[in-house]
A and B are shown apart, each in its own frame.
Chain A
Amino acid sequence: MTKPLETENIELSDKQKKAQRSRSIAIAVVLVVLVAIFYFVTILKMGPAVMVRPL
């Protein structure tokens, strides 16, 4: 069995930090794109009639 990982004692090298940052940015970009996709598809599927409603 492996020991639990103590992340606070780990010091990443500059290369590892750079790689981790790049991966984090890539994940952030993918998440933002997904949000935009689902937002626009929802608007598209609702259609223009969604704006026509009695007050």
Chain B
Amino acid sequence: MSMVDSLDKEQGGEQSDILGSLAMPSDYFALLKPRVMSLVVFTALVGLMLAPGTIHPLIAVLAIVSIAIGAGASGALNMWYDADIDAIMTRTAKRPIPAGIISPSAALTFGLVLTFMSVMMLGVIVNWLSAALLAFTIFFYAIVYSHWLKRSTPQNIVIGGAAGAFPPMIGWVAVTNSISIESVVLFAIIFIWTPPHFWALALFKSDDYKKAGIPMMPIVAGNRSTQNQILAYSLVLAPVGVLPWLMGFAALPYAIVSITLGAVFLFFAFRVWQMPSDDKLMVPAKKLFGFSILYLFVLFATLLAEAIWEKLV
């Protein structure tokens, strides 16, 4: 045992935790939730490319980088706050804080520094409206969702879903410096997509959530009610997904893709609704969860492809 280890034990560990830490930069990178960050980068890029107007390529890259760092900061703050329940759930037990690689205080400092850096970068380099939206998004995820909603209401991911829905709007505002109805539609697609996506996961991971004491919908209202609500949200999502075409800021390829994928999404949601609520394997829920990721990715990828095509032609 090194002297630092013994000092850690004698002094409660807080002061010497960074000095004697074994955390590598990659562990700090893991605090940023890179997979969530990549989705944020992607949707923000779509908002930025779709927006009318021009932006210097360097400023555009730095806007995306700032949004990515902001998303990472909220991930780190979330991991700091949720370290106790992360340790209980199998899906999250290996995260750096519950695994004992990074101390909670180091993670909190890291998250706060990145929050400050990302908001200031976006404000100084791009514009202050997008910076304000980014600051609000981080606040919404770290405080409103993680602190207030997650452990207290089954509507946690419904309201908290707003945090994941803001990035395309921030990308849009980075170019236009204003919030328009088109950016609200992009927000709405992700916002309405979030409940069926997470409740499908909650259906087949409900034991994990129950163990951690998180009041997800299947635990509080039961599987049947969750299945009904998944279908209800999917019925709203399918037409909302077509809105970019109906409102004229997406072309025919997007119409075909969004209508087709919306119908498939409804089909999977219907299969979940048909599933017996005491089903052990929950195969339809697993299929819906997998397809929901594909749905959002393909929808936004089509919007991106159309935006690039329009700029090139």
> Would A40 and B58 count as touching, CB distance under 8 A?
yes
Interface 1/0s, chain A 1-16, versus B by CB < 8 A? 0110101011111011
Of chain A, the residue at the smallest CB distance from B27 is A19
Which B residues are in CB contact (< 8 Å) with A35? Answer: none
B contact residues around A22 at 8 Å (CB):
24-25
CA distance A2 to B22 in the complex (A): 22
Complex contact B11–A3 (CB within 8 A)? yes
Q: Which of A19, A26, A40 contacts B22 (CB 8 A)?
A: A19
Q: Which residues of A contact B62 (CB under 8 A)?
A: 37, 41
Given contacts A7-B19, A40-B58, A41-B59, contact A26 B125 (CB under 8 A): no
CB-based contact A2/B15 at 8 Å: yes
A54 to B56, CA, bound (A): 28
Q: Kindly identify which residue among B2, B4, B10, B23 contacts A23, using a CB–CB cutoff of 8 Å.
A: B23
- The answer to whether the Cβ of A44 comes within 8 Å of any Cβ in the partner chain is yes
Across the A-B interface, how many residue pairs have beta carbons closer than 8 Å?
61
Q: Which residue of A lies closest to B2 (CB)?
A: A13
Chain B residue at minimal CB-CB distance from A9: B3
Q: Is B253 located at the chain interface by the 8 A CB criterion?
A: no
Min C-beta distance of B131 to chain A, whole Å: 14
By the criterion CB–CB under 8 Å, are B3 and A19 in contact? no
B2 A26 Cβ-Cβ under 8 A:
no
Q: Which residues of the partner chain B approach A23 to less than 8 Å between Cβ atoms?
A: 21, 23-25, 28
Residue of B nearest to A25 (CB): B25
For A41, what are the chain B residues with a Cβ–Cβ distance below 8 Å? Answer: 58-59, 62, 125
Pick from A3, A16, A40, A44: contact of B4, CB under 8 Å: A16
A16 near B21 with CB under 8 A, answer yes
Pick from B4, B11, B121: contact of A12, CB under 8 Å: B4
